[in-house]
Chains A and B, each alone.
Chain A
Amino acid sequence: DTGVSQDPRHKITKRGQNVTFRCDPISEHNRLYWYRQTLGQGPEFLTYFQNEAQLEKSRLLSDRFSAERPKGSFSTLEIQRTEQGDSAMYLCASSQRDRPSSYEQYFGPGTRLTVT
């Protein structure tokens, strides 16, 4: 399967714990995005990378959230001191920006986080 993959698919954690999610984009896609989706809502943009550079961060991304893409391939999203309000589906997407139809973003299956 050459699509976007995310790991883990599900994570249950206790409030106050740290969690880290991983996203592997489609091979050679230079842009990688993180979104958050709560039940019944559309995805909300969190941040995105072009290669290893983080180009934009949403105000939704509090100080407890950090994302990295150290080698321009996979990315990690870490949430420190989790709160119940962090419970959501965390979606990763990738795109190849310099192609004619480059606005297409391909989404992974998501990581569902439950904070108890």
Chain B
Amino acid sequence: GESVGLHLPTLSVQEGDNSIINCAYSNSASDYFIWYKQESGKGPQFIIDIRSNMDKRQGQRVTVLLNKTVKHLSLQIAATQPGDSAVYFCAENKNTDKLIFGTGTRLQVFP
């Protein structure tokens, strides 16, 4: 079936540590994956994306890894800051422009 799920509903990390948020997807036909950050009361904010022909992509303090063999996606945030506290969603796109989102992981950063 079509589903994008997340392993952990809540992740707590100490400020300055690295965070890793994981996501499993079930549809091997997906060709594009995106990570969004959503703060309370706001719409999702684009973080980083990756196409299925890549296995790694880096942005500013963030890295996305794609393992197509096990259908796994991860978001790594370096030196996590209090402003990173939010819910993170992975989403997939199968060339239909319709994004399929998972249920999200809440990242809590404590001092």
Task: Report A's interface with B, CB cutoff 8 A.
Answer: 4, 31, 33, 35, 40-45, 48, 55-56, 58, 91, 93, 95, 97, 101, 103-110
Q: Is B111 an interface residue (CB 8 A)?
A: no
CB distance from B108 to the nearest CB of A (A): 15
Task: Report B's interface with A, CB cutoff 8 A.
Answer: 4, 32, 34, 36, 41-46, 49, 89, 91, 93, 96-104
Q: Is the interface of B mostly helix, strand, loop or mixed?
A: strand
Asked whether, in the complex, the Cβ of B98 is within 8 Å of the Cβ of A103, the reply is: no
CB distance from A7 to the nearest CB of B (A): 13
Closest to A97 in B: B97
Neighbouring A residues of B99 by C-beta, 8 Å: 33, 35, 43, 45, 105
- Of the candidates A31, A40, A43, A93, the one having the most CB atoms from chain B within 10 angstroms of its own CB is A43
CB distance from A56 to the nearest CB of B (A): 6
In whole angstroms, what is the CA distance A81 to B59 when docked? Answer: 45
CB distance from B18 to the nearest CB of A (A): 24
Asked whether, in the complex, the Cβ of B32 is within 8 Å of the Cβ of A103, the reply is: yes
In addition to A42-B103, A106-B46, 4 A-B residue pairs with Cβ atoms within 8 Å of each other are A35-B99, A42-B4, A42-B101, A91-B43
